[in-house]
Structure 1
């Protein structure tokens, strides 16, 4: 995470990390405070959807569209705030000590088109403060947790989360999508698996896979899972583990070399993921099969 350069009074530190999924910039930030804080949220050129998901202090944080006017909406735990592009929003607290939030910055029209959603022109100009939606809350927290994960398969995972969130927040899907519960055709599935294999272990965007099939990303994600039993990111991750297993049996490469060849950050990241998916460490798995 990167520290902020200049801080308002009583805001001791701000650290943040960001990732881009499906054209949406996702920022996970952590604030340490000591008293009354007034903080202007950046990135006015984009629409912003934000959620505070962890907070310590005697007074809860408050979103303000005017720094000198209190928020007219009562406090809600894990409150969500939406602010259109070009509109300023402030974060205020009399005595917050530690705050974690996640913010999404996006172009409403571009995201709607990317996800094959209906027109949302009214929403683009209407701020929504302190609203609740359990599904959106869950998706935003999952995105915040995924931001620091370096694994290539997280690209497909984050794309799917953003797409699901866009469908939930921005509106109805249009007729270009597949019917609920439908699967990819055999040709669509072959194209998808060939594409994933050819680009392993690189990051692959969900939109690129959906384009091959002529479907919206949200419907494609469901159709792929209906066809394979796995979401695209899960299939890609398992395929990388299978390739790593083959390398461990067919070569004398070190775990560090195998981790690099299959897109893991290092041997520790590889070992942790391998054990989670197989129930054994790479060393134990290799020894058991070569002994």
Structure 2
């Protein structure tokens, strides 16, 4: 748990189990607070609101930040890193700490995820997924495990994508794969068009490569062809929607670009080993 000094003006409520834990912290007006944490779990801080007159956030006493506004900001501390933050509040503030076991954060292909420390960054996709994770942990129970695992997988992808955006590599193919900026623009485009059949020529144009070189570089970077990557990302989105019983399997299939429910069910089963209906029953 994050240590908070002094503890008196602070109200906090934590809940969770297994790989996931949520810690809600409420800070009073005109408080001078210090947070510290270093542990075996990843830490993701969500700053809901509030402002600070002064302060500093650091990870491993190296990268640091001194912004004042904190609404909808995020800080990510990889497991084992030393996190310290102090500030003075000018209004009531709320911070949520999500503690995530590294085993919970994996990509769709179960590959290792390389996550970089981030301080006071903004990312709407990470924010929305983390907020869903927080609400599910707090409202949870063991029946939510499949949904939590799906959210964690999506969060791992979004955090790795967000970390990738930090680096601005030259506009060229690196080591036979896509350069950092090419991976970023291609992945963002695929995420925004999950319900469409993405044209490889369009992706190649975004990466400023010929179709032949793009297909080869994409597979080198992601381990699978671009089409298969999109299918895998569609299935991760489907897992999240299947947790909501107000959405029919047919509507989920249509929203993800499948003209027939049978085609969607076949792709989902091939990817996950479950039929959409069987996967949904896990939430009962």
TM-score by length of 2: 0.51
1:88 to 76, 82, 86: 82
Give the C-alpha shift of residue 29 in structure 1.
0.9
Tell which structure's C-alpha radius of gyration is larger. Answer: 1
1:165 to 155, 158, 165: 155
1:90-239 → structure 2 map (5 Å cutoff): 90-108=84-102, 110-111=103-104, 113=106, 115-116=108-109, 118-121=111-114, 123=115, 126-150=116-140, 154-171=144-161, 175=224, 179=228, 220-222=235-237, 231-235=241-245
Aligned to 1:48: 43
1:9 to 6, 18, 42: 6
The answer to whether 1:63 aligns with 2:112 is no
Residue aligned with 2:243, SS: helix
C-alpha contact (below 8 Å) 1:112/1:118 kept by paired residues: no
- Larger mean CA deviation between 171-180 and 46-55 belongs to 171-180
C-alpha contact (below 8 Å) 2:45/2:76 kept by paired residues: yes
Give the C-alpha shift of residue 166 in structure 1.
1.0
Distance (Å, rounded) in 2 between the aligned partners of 1:141 and 1:83: 17
Aligned to 1:19: 16
C-alpha contact (below 8 Å) 2:20/2:137 kept by paired residues: no
Give the C-alpha shift of residue 133 in structure 1.
0.8
Give the C-alpha shift of residue 134 in structure 1.
0.9
Give the C-alpha shift of residue 132 in structure 1.
1.2
TM-score by length of 1: 0.50
Q: Structure 1 111/156 Cα, relative in aligned 2: closer, same or farther at 3 Å?
A: closer
Q: Structure 1 97/149 Cα, relative in aligned 2: closer, same or farther at 3 Å?
A: same
Aligned to 1:244: none
Give the C-alpha shift of residue 87 in structure 1.
2.1
C-alpha contact (below 8 Å) 2:4/2:33 kept by paired residues: no
Following TM superposition, where does structure 1 have runs of at least 4 consecutive aligned residues deviating by more than 6 angstroms?
none
Q: What's the CA shift string for 1:159-183, capped at 9, x where partnerless?
A: 322221111112586539983675x
C-alpha contact (below 8 Å) 1:29/1:102 kept by paired residues: yes
Q: Structure 1 77/100 Cα, relative in aligned 2: closer, same or farther at 3 Å?
A: closer
C-alpha contact (below 8 Å) 2:65/2:120 kept by paired residues: no
Aligned to 1:203: none
Distance (Å, rounded) in 2 between the aligned partners of 1:70 and 1:10: 26
Distance (Å, rounded) in 2 between the aligned partners of 1:132 and 1:17: 24
C-alpha contact (below 8 Å) 1:17/1:28 kept by paired residues: yes
Aligned to 2:72: 78
Q: Structure 1 220/66 Cα, relative in aligned 2: closer, same or farther at 3 Å?
A: closer
Unaligned runs of 5+ in 1: 183-215, 239-262, 265-291
Q: What's the CA shift string for 1:221-266, capped at 9, x where partnerless?
A: 44x56xxxx833224999xxxxxxxxxxxxxxxxxxxxxxxx99xx
C-alpha contact (below 8 Å) 2:104/2:149 kept by paired residues: no
